[in-house]
Amino acid sequence: MEKKIIIFCFVILGFTFYSYPVFDSEGISYLIIFCCFIMITFSVAKIYNPSDKNNYESVEKEVDYLENLDGIFSYQKDGFYFTRNKKTDFVKWEEIIEVNSFSIPFLHEGRHSGLEIITEKMGYEFNYQQTPGIEKLTNQLIENLSHWNFDGETIKINNHGLKKTNLYKRS
């Protein structure tokens, strides 16, 4: 788009320089020349220094892809399967007692976050950075479990920086 603007401005500039004596006022010619130079300057700056590397379409495409990615999960009416370490487990929606969000420091610079799902039989932790399909799992949990608490208080669990927020608790 910027390249088209630059070409258009050069055409207008060429026409203005060619037809310079035709205009009744020098002010009009100077204004056209000034506007073209401004548009060329900003277009060249935009081409060589793109400020927005992620445009709306690319972000939407990635979000749609992540929300439709099953990853290690497959969903049924009464629950979901997931496969880890060549072992497949089935978790029923009705067996889920609690869902927590957790965040833990990683390499003293960043944090890893994820979901902890506690059932009647076992507890499972899924990390956002290492679990393909966790975005769809989150959406499926919200659809199949009621009474979510998105404004839950974040609690620091230990001195190592582990933080948890309760998102769902079966009543």
Q: How far apart are CA 127 and CA 72, in angstroms?
A: 12
Whether residue 30 lies inside any domain: the answer is yes
87 and 107 assigned to the same domain? yes
27 and 73 assigned to the same domain? no
**Structural domain containing residue 7:** 2-48
> Which range among 12-21, 94-103, 135-144 shows the weakest confidence by mean pLDDT?
12-21
pTM of the model: 0.64
**pLDDT (tens digit per residue) in 57-85:** 888 888 888 888 888 999 999 999 999 88
**pLDDT (tens digit per residue) in 101-158:** 988 888 777 888 899 999 988 999 998 888 899 899 988 988 888 888 888 788 888 7
Whether residue 24 lies inside any domain: the answer is yes
For residue 22, pLDDT beyond 70 = no
- Count Cβ atoms within 10 A of the Cβ of residue 103 and give its class: 0-12 exposed, 13-18 middle, 19 or more buried: middle
Whether residue 28 lies inside any domain: the answer is yes
- The first and second tokens of residue 123, run together, are 């507890």
33 and 9 assigned to the same domain? yes
Whether residue 55 lies inside any domain: the answer is no
Query: How many domains does the structure of the chain reveal?
Result: 2
83 and 158 assigned to the same domain? yes
Whether residue 37 lies inside any domain: the answer is yes
128 and 98 assigned to the same domain? yes
CATH code of the domain containing 114 = 2.30.29
How many Cα atoms occupy the beta-carbon half-sphere of 8 within 13 Å? 9
Q: What is the pLDDT of residue 117?
A: 92
Q: What is the pLDDT of residue 3?
A: 75
Tally of CB atoms within 10 A around 99 = 21
